[in-house]
Chains A and B, each alone.
Chain A
């Protein structure tokens, strides 16, 4: 298995909702990442997990809460989002200090 699987592919949520994005990989990668991508912009790093521990938080607002329950799973919990948080959320994985990242196809999030 050489894929990163993200679910759901599309999500529409209200500003008072709580939802979660899920990311899964079975390549034995011990580093996992969340990126946010606005339309026609490059991906922006949000969080990095290494060996299931949060190693980088790029000053992301607390309404985004990441979780890495095991070495194959990465979640992003969403609460009280704003319309400007609407974007494509990408998950990626790699070997720790590895050269090739594998990205999922993303979850397209719309906040209404």
Chain B
């Protein structure tokens, strides 16, 4: 799997938007961009995924650069419950390995 680079930590104020960046300069044409988050004492949780176009769901938005070498997870209004480690993962569904491999992720701190 291609490598991703994320900041180790970020901080946000409650009710403010949060933009979590991810660089993946070696992404291949068949790699999908996945975001998962892990709240304290819980297993990881699927957030969103995309290939080329920007994606929105009830949890977040995913903005993908035109050259696909970077992406940004957007939480529109951070709450205290959004404090978690956020993982950006590339995965090629055509690859026979078809398993998620986690990098270090970004630890998001949300302050009141």
User: Which residues of chain A have a CB within 8 Å of any CB of chain B?
Assistant: 4, 31, 33, 42-45, 48, 50, 55-56, 90, 92, 96-106
B98 / chain A contacts, CB cutoff of 8 Å: 31, 48, 50, 96-97
Considering the complex, which residues of chain B in the window 2-61 have a beta carbon less than 8 Å from any beta carbon of chain A? 32, 34, 36, 41-46, 49
User: Which residues of chain B have a CB within 8 Å of any CB of chain A?
Assistant: 32, 34, 36, 41-46, 49, 85, 87, 93-94, 96-105
Known: A42-B87, A42-B105, A92-B43. A101 touches B93 (CB 8 A): no
Looking at chain A's contact residues, is the secondary structure mostly helix, strand, loop, or mixed? strand
The answer to whether B32 touches A99, judged by C-beta atoms less than 8 angstroms apart, is: yes
The answer to whether B100 touches A45, judged by C-beta atoms less than 8 angstroms apart, is: yes
A90 / chain B contacts, CB cutoff of 8 Å: 43-44
The answer to whether A101 touches B105, judged by C-beta atoms less than 8 angstroms apart, is: no
B94 / chain A contacts, CB cutoff of 8 Å: 97
The answer to whether B44 touches A56, judged by C-beta atoms less than 8 angstroms apart, is: no
The answer to whether A103 touches B43, judged by C-beta atoms less than 8 angstroms apart, is: yes
Residue from B32, B41, B43, B99 within 8 A of A56 (CB atoms): B99
